[in-house]
């Protein structure tokens, strides 16, 4: 028999509190699933489980991750955060460096993606 869940409406309120106060109250530089889990007193796997089971909690977790993306992006651009750590955080949000191979993909008639985007052609 599975252990009963600790989730209740109060957990979403605590998650919202974490979102609003992750720096001042919880001591985190950036909001994270790990920080949320510690704040709630549960494992990260429980946070992900609740995300799949409770729509309101899922929305709150999405807001936390959006806040994380914004904070990492802004502080990475401004040089506040370490570039390597910023790159790792943003990779979890779909950001990546384009390699030379990706930049030179052929789109049509021998024109590269870079040429298409810049309007220039080597022909």
What values do phi and psi take at 74, rounded to 5? Answer: -65, -45
Residue 105: the pLDDT is: 59
Tens-place pLDDT, residues 57-84: 999 999 999 999 999 999 999 999 999 9
**Where do the structural domains in the chain lie, given as residue ranges?**
9-92, 98-123
Positions of the chain with pLDDT lower than 50, given as ranges:
none
Single out the residue of 34, 25, 33, 29 nearest to residue 80, CA to CA: 29
């Amino acid at each position: 028999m599975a252990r009963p869940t600790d989730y209740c409406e109060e957990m979403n309120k605590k998650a919202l509190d974490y979102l609003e106060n992750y720096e001042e109250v919880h001591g985190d530089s950036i909001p994270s699933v790990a920080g949320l889990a510690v704040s709630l007193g549960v494992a990260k796997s429980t946070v992900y489980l609740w995300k799949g089971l409770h729509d309101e909690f899922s929305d709150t977790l999405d807001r936390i991750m959006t806040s994380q993306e914004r904070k990492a992006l802004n502080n990475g651009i401004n040089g506040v955060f370490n570039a390597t750590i910023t790159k790792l955080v943003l990779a979890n949000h779909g950001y990546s460096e384009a390699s030379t191979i990706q930049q030179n993909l052929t789109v049509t008639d021998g024109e590269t993606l870079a040429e298409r985007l810049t309007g220039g052609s080597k022909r």
